[in-house]
Structure 1
Amino acid sequence: MHIAEGFLPPVWAAVWTVFAIPFVAYGTYRVAKYVRRSPERMAMLALAGAFMFVLSALKLPSVTGSTSHPTGTGIAIVLFGPGVTAVLSTIVLVYQALLLAHGGITTLGANVASMGIIGPIVGYLGYRVARQQSGVVTGTFVATVLADWTTYLVTSAQLGAAFPAGEGIGGMIGATGNFAAIFAVTQLPIGIVEGVIAAAMIKQLLVVKPAVKSKLGVTT
């Protein structure tokens, strides 16, 4: 759900940039802490980032000025939590904006806020609940689906606030609903498919990488 370069009014681009900065700063601290304590985790960070880059680059036309696609954040959420996910998302979004013309630099704050911050936070909360009830693999599916769907809802709200359908809050809410309805056609099934892929990947990692079991607290 990358919002295209120059599509947001400057004031909204600035608002979302200011919103994103402290989360990315905290995530940077978390990444540095991970690397200092366990340099071998760089490989897992690279894996999570690559997964995110590839999946979120698979774009389908959707709302004017945006696209529908997987977010790829599920693996990072499960392995490292939402703070690190914010940093990986920012790196991925910068590269995609510069190399693929997917998203943009002026809209980077908005895209990071939706895909790298709010979506992963909701996904992580869902993961914690689902994991307690049904285990890591099911938790990964829930985290991924919730992060994906939340990302598209936040993007809808960002577009609705920037381009309201009428005066006041009602116009913003109406526009948000219109954007969300269009996104839903592609994003609802995309989120489910992405959840299946992420869950399968975590399941395989638990088999071939004992260190992942320790990281996730899996005892069996």
Structure 2
Amino acid sequence: MHIMEGFLPTPWWQIWFAISIPVIMYGIYKLNRLVNEKREILPLLAVAGAFVFVLSALKLPSVNGSCSHPTGTGIAAIMFGPAISAVLGTIVLLFQALFLAHGGLLPLGANVFSMGIVGPVVAYLVYKAGMKANLNFYVVVFLATALGDWATYVTTSVELALAFPEPVGGFLASFEKFAMIFAVTQVPLAIMEGAVSALLFKYVVNLKSDILVEMKVIEESVVRKLRGISA
């Protein structure tokens, strides 16, 4: 999903920057407020940021100008919400562009929009809906992070299709081409990300459930149920 440097033409890279910047600024505001109010969340914030960095660095070649990889931003969205996930995603993508040659600076807005904004929003909404429906917590985490991953790549396909419509069939034909190529690698990668995310959350629930409860990520009754403790 890292669209490479120089691949998106004008005006598309500018448009994605214009859309992404307000979300990032709002995320910075929310992050500063959260850290000032709850210093104890810093270890969780570090875990979420490291998870995003490690997973999104595992890239596989996909289509010209891009690549496939897990995103990791779904778990950050569940813990901290989509806006703060956008900040974490931006930091990771900027570091990877500067030091790992993953993506680039000009397409940073497009990469942030797909991986740091749309994917986390979908993951967050799926998580909230799943918990409201009283589904198994780890199943909900799996679904939220896997669907958030797929949403990222659907969005990247939209970005590429808008910039490079097919001569015959236009945007829709181009979108179908990009999405089908991404699907070959991204369907299994998203399933893997969902499973790894569920395992990571099992670790976090066992060690830091009090913080998750305080942040209203999970209810105390759910934690007790997961630990097999009677009410």
- What is the TM-score normalised by the length of structure 1? 0.96
Shift of 1:88: 0.3
Which letter does structure 2 place at the counterpart of 1:191? A
Contact 2:161-2:171 within 8 A present in 1 as well: yes
* 1:147 equivalent in structure 2: 148
Quick check: 1:205 aligned with 2:204? yes
Q: Where in structure 2 are the equivalents of 1:187-202 lying within 5 Å?
A: 187-202=186-201
Q: Where in structure 2 are the equivalents of 1:29-108 lying within 5 Å?
A: 29-108=29-108
Distance in 1 (CA, whole Å) between partners of 2:26 and 2:138 is 27
* Large movers: runs of 4+ above 6 Å: none
SS of alignment partner, residue 106 of structure 1:
coil
Shift of 1:119: 1.1
Contact 1:166-1:172 within 8 A present in 2 as well: no
Shift of 1:138: 2.0
Deviation larger for 191-200 or 201-210: 201-210
Contact 2:79-2:212 within 8 A present in 1 as well: no
Distance in 1 (CA, whole Å) between partners of 2:212 and 2:43 is 15
Q: What are the ranges of 5 or more consecutive residues in structure 2 without an aligned counterpart?
A: 225-231
Identity across matched positions, percent: 50
Distance in 1 (CA, whole Å) between partners of 2:204 and 2:101 is 32
Q: What are the ranges of 5 or more consecutive residues in structure 1 without an aligned counterpart?
A: none
**Counterparts in 2 of 1:139 and 1:212: CA distance versus 1, 3 Å:** farther
C-alpha deviations, 1:165-203, integer Å up to 9, x for none? 027xx5011101100000000001100110000011101
SS of alignment partner, residue 101 of structure 1:
coil
Which letter does structure 2 place at the counterpart of 1:203? K
SS of alignment partner, residue 11 of structure 2:
helix
Which letter does structure 2 place at the counterpart of 1:210? S
Quick check: 1:218 aligned with 2:199? no
Which letter does structure 1 place at the counterpart of 2:45? L
Q: Where in structure 2 are the equivalents of 1:173-184 lying within 5 Å?
A: 173-184=172-183
Distance in 2 (CA, whole Å) between partners of 1:211 and 1:171 is 52
Larger radius of gyration: 2
Contact 1:97-1:103 within 8 A present in 2 as well: yes
Shift of 1:75: 1.6
- What is the TM-score normalised by the length of structure 2? 0.91
Shift of 1:136: 3.0
Shift of 1:139: 2.0
Which letter does structure 2 place at the counterpart of 1:45? L
